[in-house]
Amino acid sequence: MRDAQPWRILAAACLLAALPAPDAVAARAAKPPLLHVPATVSGFVGGESHDTYAVAVRAGEGISVRLEWKRHGNDAAEFEIADTADFPAHHFDPGGKWTDGGATWTGASEDGGKLYLHVVAHPSAHYTLAIRPYPEHARRDRIPDPGEPWSLRAPRGGLLVKPAEFWPYEEARIDGFKMRVAVNDRAEVAYVATADPTFGTREGIAVGSTLAEVRRAGAEAPVAETGWAWVTRLPSGWWAAFVSGEGLTNAPLTPQSKVAWLFKRR
């Protein structure tokens, strides 16, 4: 969690930026410098101003961003990560991890493109912003099997992987598909799942396939895991999950019920 004090700097800067001052309007209209990893930039910011940088990133590429500034009096600086060059930006959750009291962020871009860094200070600060590749966030090109070692690179909290069982997880693009990977307390894959409609099992089953199609592919009749999903295992080792009714499992399935997600778990 980031410290409360730096966020007050950012909140104050956002309020000032919202005022229709000519220089602020001009700053928002200016195209921010485009940086490529690795990069280091320095600047001076304070008062009503802010500095914005665009960072080009590839899908799955991990980066580390660190902000340092000259400590003088009460001077303090902070940066935020956004998906737009506009400042103040709308709420955006970049995932990843904040450390050093909010001065360092490490994470990965799921879809690639551009991330925007907004730097603010109060009252003012000479700063240096360093963007570096983060090897632990290198793109992964093979979907892991349950039981394999796995280090979470952008943890997002607890994921319900079966009734009453939660494990920390991350969202990542693996082999071109959007996946969720949860790990147990031994840092092993406990669960991997996808609702990406472009992913298909070797049987040709995908999100949106019907129960009739799943049965024809060799799966048994689904079993209800109360309050979580109806599940059945395919010959490939993937499980198909179905939901029905407000309680997810409190209504019977039909041959036309559709796969909600696919998963493997330990």
How many Cβ atoms sit within 10 Å of the Cβ of residue 240? 29
Rg, the chain, Cα only: 23
pLDDT value for 28? 47
Range of the domain at 112: 4-136
Same-domain check for residues 131 and 200: no
Angle at 121 between CA 63 and CA 132, to 5 degrees: 15
pLDDT value for 154? 77
Same-domain check for residues 131 and 183: no
Of 229 and 141, more confident: 229
Phi, psi torsion values for 225, nearest 5 degrees: -100, 100
Same-domain check for residues 176 and 75: no
Closest CA to 48 of 2, 9, 84, 80: 9
Of 18 and 166, more confident: 166
Phi, psi torsion values for 136, nearest 5 degrees: -65, -15
Closest CA to 219 of 257, 180, 251: 257
pLDDT value for 107? 83
| Domain count across the chain | 2
Same-domain check for residues 65 and 96: yes
Cβ contacts of 26 within 8 Å, gap of 6 or more: none
Sign of CA dihedral 103, 104, 110, 111: positive
Q: What is the pLDDT of residues 66-119, one digit of tens each?
A: 999 988 888 899 999 999 999 876 777 777 788 888 899 988 777 788 999 999
Same-domain check for residues 174 and 212: yes
d(CA 218, CA 181): 26
pLDDT value for 5? 45
Strand segments (E) across 16-72: 34-36, 39-46, 51-57, 62-69
pLDDT value for 17? 46
Q: What is the pLDDT of residues 111-169, one digit of tens each?
A: 788 999 999 998 999 999 999 887 654 446 789 999 988 888 778 889 999 999 999 99
Q: Mean of the pLDDT values across residues 186-190? A: 90
Q: Mean of the pLDDT values across residues 172-180? A: 89
Is the pTM here over 0.75, yes or no? no
d(CA 119, CA 68): 11
pLDDT value for 35? 95
Q: Is the pLDDT of residue 175 over 50?
A: yes
Q: What is the pLDDT of residues 23-62, one digit of tens each?
A: 544 444 578 999 998 899 999 998 878 999 999 988 777 7
Q: Is the pLDDT of residue 192 over 90?
A: yes
Of 105, 136, 167, which marks where a domain is finished? 136
Closest CA to 186 of 209, 210, 168, 212: 168
Q: Is the pLDDT of residue 228 over 90?
A: yes
CB 227 within 8 A of CB 182: no
Same-domain check for residues 183 and 250: yes
Element (H, E) at 99: strand 97-99
Same-domain check for residues 104 and 188: no
Residue 147 lies in a domain: no
Residue 39 lies in a domain: yes
Residue 142 lies in a domain: no
d(CA 195, CA 263): 9
Q: Is the pLDDT of residue 21 over 70?
A: no
State the pairing for strand pair 34-36/51-57.
parallel
pLDDT value for 2? 53
Cβ contacts of 158 within 8 Å, gap of 6 or more: 166, 167, 168, 169
> Residue 194, CB half-sphere, CA atoms under 13 Å: how many?
20
Residue 233 binned pLDDT confidence (cut-offs 50, 70, 90): very high
